[in-house]
Amino acid sequence: MTSVLWILVGLALAYCGAEAFIRGAVSLSRRFGIPPLVVGLTVIAWGTSSPELAVSVKAALNANSGMSLGNVLGSNIFNVGIILGLTALTLPLRVKLQLIRFDIPTLAVITLLAFGALYDSQVSRTEGVLLLTTFVVYSAATFYFAKKESPQEVVKEFVDAEPRRFRSVGVDLLCIGAGLAVLVYGADLLVRGAVTLARALGVTEAVIGLTVVAAGTSLPELVSSLVAAKRKEPDVAVGTIVGSNIFNITFILGLSSTITPVSQSEIGKVELGALLISAVVLIPMAWTGFVLMRWEGAVLLAGYGVYVALLWP
């Protein structure tokens, strides 16, 4: 019961900290004139991944590599299977050309690279540095394409989806600082509770990271995507998930494995296969009419159900 309480309190603090951090970061970004599409694909996408970042780095520092890796992989699978699935059921998601031509294929390629890195039992420091380098290259390319080719209606969707800007820079900085502090503390409680729960249930830390922790740290993405769907802003919903998944692999996994090599001894074929499928399946779904239909959302949800059933025999 104590471990479950730690997990719940940790999730609540991580979520509240992430929300404050995102609002402060978005408000500050807009003061510097960063385009709305870039803010959506980077600041918001990265901000919604801040719980995963805090948890994975904390787990890596504590030498809980199974938890660190499980959180990253599980979050990516959850983002596509549950969040995109539920969002597509709420509103068929029209996918714009930039996402189809660049971001979704990039996610598939990066996931293939991660799959290859994990297949030899661990992600080394060298591979971690390569992932971080990929993150820098992708971010630069995102800024370039967004400024060059953003259609007006896409920009408007991201403007409408942004949180309201605060009145002063001081409030921006206070939200960023306080949000990060609460987020880090929540992540610490969450990791402690998850490790204790894994030992009590007799399962690996990776399994808890792949399911309980991954679902909890993905709450910001879930809220952002469902709100975007309710506002009929499909680019925000899809862009947040795709950008978040790329960030999870390139930056979070890259940083965690740079801190300490991440072993995948607790990660099996089911988890790696689900990770690969979650990225590759978006390509044909996005290309068929440039829309994620409701029935495709149902397929994603069903696929996640199969994955969990295989993971928890």
The distance of Cα 47 from the centroid of its chain, to the nearest Å, equals 9
Q: pLDDT category, 53, cuts 50, 70, 90?
A: confident
Q: DSSP states of 201-213 as a string?
A: HT--HHHHIIIII
Radius of gyration, CA atoms only, the chain: 18
Please report, for the domain that includes residue 164, its CATH number. 1.20.1420.30
pLDDT digits 0-9 by tens, 192-248? 787 787 778 777 777 878 887 888 778 777 777 777 777 676 667 787 788 889 999
Report the pLDDT averaged over residues 259-284: 83
Count of CB atoms situated within 10 Å of the CB of 288: 12
- Both tokens assigned to 105: 């294929």
Q: SS3 of 174, please?
A: helix
Q: Is the pLDDT of residue 151 over 70?
A: no
Q: How many domains does the chain have?
A: 1
Count of CB atoms situated within 10 Å of the CB of 304: 20
Contact 14, 183 (CB under 8 A): yes
Structural domain for 181, as ranges: 2-311
Which residue intervals of 79-168 are DSSP H helices? 85-90, 97-98, 104-118, 125-149, 152-161
Q: pLDDT category, 135, cuts 50, 70, 90?
A: very high
pLDDT digits 0-9 by tens, 56-79? 887 777 777 777 888 888 899 999
